[in-house]
């Protein structure tokens, strides 16, 4: 019996039955860590000192929310408008750096050269050797920045930049590659941190007026988390083909949640999630369909059927914590149902949900993201295999009927 459909595409996300098994809100009370989330309960618990963010969002007028969201979207659109222009500038100048950046480097080196000459004249050979070593390090860093900018341009040429990247990350990438009004400098030694200094930085001004110093390590980290998760997509696609092939041929095929095959695949999928790619995986489509993990997880049933009474205020000193504390009549650090009164805490707003997902993107919450991204990938494989298996069962039933009549 020849069965087909081994290469079935992933179903569109809009038809995805995405519900996680963990009853996360029942565990919110246990979330006590303000910086690192040990489970999804922590995400919801921390999103605004457990309750403050949700309370403020509900009480704030919709006009205020809409205006803020509009400003954020306008800022993102502005940076997107600069994106293609940025890479064209790199193309047109024919060099990784502008003449102005090279001039700054040369001017800084004049001052360092003077220090070196003074050390030689004073017969301070030890100081001169140190200064010479520092100069070699600065020259090497200049070459490393050259490689980074050229590599960024190649990433653009190959269409490998993630489609959905944070606005600030896009702004930093734009600023360093276009190098408009860019300044270079070197970090000072930091005795408290034990760093020797001397790292070449790009000093850029963000659209909000904030000055930001970006080291080579900073830029590499920003770039890495904004690369399309192509490798994961390829590996996931191989798993999909393999499981669909088994579903289409094996009579004893079992990929139900909890089965040995399912658990093995769940473990394998989680291994695909790394500290370098998890943020890009959250925000970008990598398994076909029409949406992303951060969009699909908003359909989580625990986001939409919640009771937010008896939640712990984890940080009374934060803005949200202070807001929540005013409802804590008995000052026990917990908001009971009788204390929240007329305020409707039955559901999270869309803004609260997005805040929770943004919290998942933080580096300290990698383990949480890894857990749920792996689950997401495996559930999508499961949805896909069910379609293939249904075709297998239908064909086998029809084949048996045909055999009985002949």
Domain end position, chosen among 204, 224, 244: 224
For residue 198, what are the domain limits? 67-224
Please name the residue ranges forming H helices in 179-318: 216-224, 230-247, 260-272, 278-283, 293-296, 301-304
Low-confidence ranges of the chain (pLDDT < 70): 1-69, 300-315, 319-321, 323-324, 335-349, 351-352, 395-406
User: Does residue 404 form part of some domain?
Assistant: no
pLDDT of residue 59: 42
What confidence tens digit (pLDDT) does each residue in 79-127 have? 888 898 999 999 999 899 999 999 999 999 999 999 999 999 999 999 9
- Shared-domain flag, residues 254 and 381: yes
User: Does residue 165 form part of some domain?
Assistant: yes
pTM value is: 0.69
User: Does residue 5 form part of some domain?
Assistant: no
User: Does residue 6 form part of some domain?
Assistant: no
- Shared-domain flag, residues 220 and 293: no
Taking Cα atoms as reference points, which of 304, 343, 312 lies closest to residue 51? 312
Using alpha carbons only, what angle is made at residue 228 by residues 227 and 233, rounded to the nearest 5 degrees? 140
pLDDT of residue 297: 82
pLDDT of residue 398: 60
What is the three-class DSSP state of 200?
strand
- Shared-domain flag, residues 38 and 163: no
pLDDT of residue 76: 80
User: Does residue 2 form part of some domain?
Assistant: no
User: Does residue 140 form part of some domain?
Assistant: yes
Domain end position, chosen among 191, 206, 224: 224
- Shared-domain flag, residues 276 and 304: yes
Alpha-carbon gap, residue 135 to 172, rounded angstroms: 27
- Shared-domain flag, residues 84 and 50: no
What's the number of domains the chain is made of?
A: 2
Taking Cα atoms as reference points, which of 65, 46, 41, 27 lies closest to residue 315? 46
What confidence tens digit (pLDDT) does each residue in 153-171 have? 999 999 999 988 888 999 9
User: Does residue 360 form part of some domain?
Assistant: yes
Please tell me what DSSP assigns to residue 55: H
- Shared-domain flag, residues 88 and 155: yes
- Shared-domain flag, residues 78 and 174: yes
- Shared-domain flag, residues 205 and 306: no
Domain end position, chosen among 176, 202, 224: 224
Q: How far is CA 6 from CA 73, 247, 261, in A?
A: 41, 8, 17
- Shared-domain flag, residues 279 and 260: yes
- Shared-domain flag, residues 21 and 90: no
pLDDT of residue 21: 29
- Shared-domain flag, residues 161 and 81: yes
Residue 58 CB contacts under 8 Å (≥ 6 apart), including other chains: 343, 344, 345, 349
User: Does residue 3 form part of some domain?
Assistant: no
- Shared-domain flag, residues 190 and 109: yes
Taking Cα atoms as reference points, which of 127, 107, 108 lies closest to residue 117? 127
């Amino acid at each position: 019996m020849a069965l087909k459909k081994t290469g079935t595409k992933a179903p569109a996300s809009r038809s995805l039955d995405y519900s996680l098994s963990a009853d996360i809100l029942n565990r919110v009370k246990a979330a006590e860590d303000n910086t690192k989330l040990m489970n999804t309960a922590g995400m919801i618990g921390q999103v605004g000192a457990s309750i403050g963010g949700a309370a403020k969002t509900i009480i704030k007028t919709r006009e205020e929310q809409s205006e803020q969201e509009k400003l954020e979207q306008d800022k993102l659109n502005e940076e997107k408008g600069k994106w293609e222009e940025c890479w064209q500038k790199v193309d047109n100048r024919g060099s990784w750096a502008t003449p102005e950046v090279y001039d700054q480097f040369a001017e800084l080196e004049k001052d360092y050269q003077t220090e070196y000459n003074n050390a030689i004249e004073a017969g301070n050979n030890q100081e001169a050797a140190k200064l010479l070593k520092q100069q070699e390090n600065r020259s090497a860093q200049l070459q490393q920045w050259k490689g980074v900018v050229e590599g960024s341009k190649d990433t653009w040429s190959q269409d490998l930049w993630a489609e959905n990247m944070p606005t600030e990350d896009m702004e930093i990438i734009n600023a360093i590659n276009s190098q408009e009004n860019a300044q270079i400098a070197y970090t000072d030694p930091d005795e408290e941190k034990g760093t020797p200094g001397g790292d070449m930085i790009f000093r850029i001004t963000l659209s909000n007026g904030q000055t930001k110093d970006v080291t080579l390590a900073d830029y590499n980290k920003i770039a890495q988390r904004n690369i399309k998760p192509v490798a994961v997509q390829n590996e996931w696609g191989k798993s999909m083909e393999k499981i669909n092939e088994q579903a289409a041929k094996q009579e004893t095929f079992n990929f139900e949640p909890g089965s040995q095959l399912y658990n093995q695949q769940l473990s394998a999928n989680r291994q695909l999630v790394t500290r370098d790619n998890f943020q890009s995986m959250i925000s970008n489509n990598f398994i076909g369909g029409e949406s992303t993990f951060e969009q699909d997880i908003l359909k989580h049933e625990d986001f939409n059927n919640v009771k937010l009474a008896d939640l712990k205020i984890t940080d009374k000193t934060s803005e949200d914590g202070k807001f929540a504390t005013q409802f804590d009549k008995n000052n026990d650090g917990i908001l009971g149902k009788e204390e929240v009164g007329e305020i409707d805490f039955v559901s999270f707003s869309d803004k609260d949900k997005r805040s929770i997902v943004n919290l998942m993107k933080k580096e300290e919450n990698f383990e949480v993201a890894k857990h749920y991204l792996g689950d997401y990938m495996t559930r999508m494989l499961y949805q896909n295999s069910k379609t293939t298996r249904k075709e297998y069962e239908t064909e086998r039933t029809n084949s048996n009927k045909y055999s009985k009549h002949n």
